[in-house]
Chains A and B, each alone.
Chain A
Amino acid sequence: MSATNLSYRAVFSLVLKRDLTIAMRHKDDIINPLLFFVIVVTLFPLGIGPEAQILSRIAPGIIWVAALLSTLLSLDRLFKSDHSDGSLEQMLLSPQPVFILVLAKIVAHWLITGLPLILIAPLLAVLLHLNEQSYGALILTLLLGTPVLSLLGAIGVALTVGIKKGGVLLSLLVLPLYIPVLIFATSAIDTAALGLPYSGQLAIIAALFFGSLTLAPFAVGAALKVSTN
């Protein structure tokens, strides 16, 4: 038996499948962030009152802030368990490019935490009386924006994974990077509610998405090397 060179796609799907298998057997990872998202959003009408006008005005902000916080809550699982049981070291020592390994892990993270959020968001939007014209914008901004949250968050986790109590540091590092996404996403949804085109805001989020998709895995790889040092 000799070592063969795996194609990048084979490496990607190998790691992706592994992470998804682990998540399916450890369902807390999927349920926790989703439950947090639902609870935060449903608490607002209880706290503010059921007036449709007020709720529909603040709905984009609530949904996006809740999505952002629930992503932040789930970020830890991205590298922490792999770091503590030694699998991260083994991955870094494999002959495969770190870029692909990291990208696969981030994609798995998004599929586990980001995608369920997007699926349940329209339901919560109904609860908050979101303007009918804004649904498209809500889904599009979430589709483009939540991967950015996973990608940028991964850099923060990679930097703090070696620290025992890195939770606070992680939020401080990552939250400022999330703010542009939050601003443009809510602005796009508000603009859509007025019946105006929101392609400008969407283009900026798309730019953030492609920028972080191509650059973040390199940063994560470098940060992981420092963290395992």
Chain B
Amino acid sequence: MSINSNANNQPALISASNLTCIREERLLFDQLTIEINAGDIVQIEGPNGSGKTSLLRILAGLSQPYEGDIFYKNELISQAREEFHQNLLYLGHLPGVKGEMTAQENLRFNLTLHGLAINDSEIEETLAHVNLTGFEESLASHLSAGQHRRISLARLYKSTANIWILDEPFTAIDKQGVHSLEQLFKAHTKQGGCVILTTHQDLLTFLPSQVKKITLDYMGE
């Protein structure tokens, strides 16, 4: 199970060698080697419990693999922490949105924390991208699950990171939203970024040949 593509001289944006992951005494994947280059869109597939989220968390450096290493441009991510984190945008199952803060404050905090300065009109514009116009001043606790996810996805429109790791980004997002996210992924990969995501839906606006797939199948007992 490995992906090797456009063998130009640029080092792979993110690569993993010999990853092994064991959860609850079950082997989820073994000796997995991945190489993801600029311009790639990678969809990780597999049934529930096959380790998709575990793989994404390991790639983001949140979880430790049982065996194996992750590299950012051929450097171990633990050694290039600051640079890697500057170029990484990870959105997990949990949106990371505080109910006590407004949509605007949540977005501003998340962007500022990642070193992106933004002014009020840009915030409004970004929230408009995710259809949250009129909700800027609403406390997030008064918004729906889908709107929470939209607040966290709004970061994508302003992100300067080139690696996007997205765990089920389309959950609770309506058709129109999915379409505009796919457009965004397209633009991002064209600009030399990469997108790694899990989803049970097919990416409709991409040709099947454009999307690289990693299939995790249930291996162990």
On A, residues with C-beta under 8 Å from B are: 1-6, 11, 14-15, 18, 21-22, 25-26, 81, 84-87, 89-96, 228-229
Q: Could you give, for residues 53-97 of chain B, a 1 whenever the CB lies within 8 Å of some chain A CB and a 0 otherwise?
A: 000000011111000000000000000001101101010111111
Nearest CB in chain A: distance from B116 CB, A:
6
- The segment from B11-19, B107-115, B186-194 found at the interface with A is B107-115
Do A21 and B101 form a contact, CB below 8 Å, given A1-B158, A86-B92, A95-B85?
Answer: yes
Which residues does chain B contribute within 8 Å of A2, judged by CB atoms?
160
CB-CB under 8 A from B112, the residues of chain A are: 6, 14
A5, A18, A22, A84: the one within 8 Å of B115 (CB): A5
Interface hub of B62, B63, B64, B93 (most chain A Cβ within 10 A) = B62
Contacts of A25 in B (CB 8 A): 100-101, 139
Given A1-B160, A86-B94, A86-B97, 15 extra CB contacts under 8 A:
A1-B116, A3-B160, A18-B101, A26-B100, A84-B94, A85-B95, A85-B97, A86-B96, A87-B96, A87-B97, A89-B90, A89-B92, A89-B96, A95-B114, A96-B115
Q: Does B117 count as interface, using CB distance less than 8 angstroms? A: yes
**A3:B115 contact, CB within 8 angstroms:** yes
Please, how many angstroms separate the alpha-carbon atoms of A185 and B220 in the complex?
56
**B14 vs chain A, min Cβ distance (A):** 14
Contacts of A3 in B (CB 8 A): 86, 114-116, 160
Q: Do most interface residues of chain A lie in helix, strand or loop, or is the interface mixed?
A: helix
Task: Give Cα distance in the complex from A22 to B141, angstroms.
Answer: 12
Chain B residue contacts of A94, Cβ below 8 A: 85, 113-114
Q: What are the 4 A-B residue pairs with the smallest beta carbon separation, nearest first?
A: A86-B94, A86-B96, A3-B115, A95-B85
Chain B residues within 8 Å of A93, by CB: 60-62, 85, 88, 90
- Does the CB pair A89–B82 fall under 8 Å? no
What separation, in Å, do the CA atoms of A84 and B94 have in the docked complex?
A: 8
How near does chain A come to B179, taking the closest CB pair, in angstroms?
Answer: 25
Give B216 Cβ to nearest chain A Cβ, in Å: 19
Nearest B-chain residue to A97, judged by Cβ? B82
Q: Does B168 belong to the interface (CB within 8 Å)?
A: no
15 contacts between A and B (CB under 8 A): A1-B117, A1-B118, A2-B160, A15-B113, A21-B101, A25-B101, A84-B94, A85-B97, A86-B94, A87-B96, A90-B110, A92-B62, A93-B90, A95-B82, A95-B114
Q: With A and B bound together, what is the CA distance between A59 and B95 in angstroms?
A: 47
Give the most central of B64, B92, B98: most A CB within 10 Å.
B98
- Beta-carbon nearest neighbor of B109 in chain A: A18
The answer to whether A6 touches B94 (Cβ under 8 A) is no
Residue of B nearest to A229 (CB): B63
Q: Tell me the minimal C-beta distance from A81 to chain B in angstroms.
A: 8
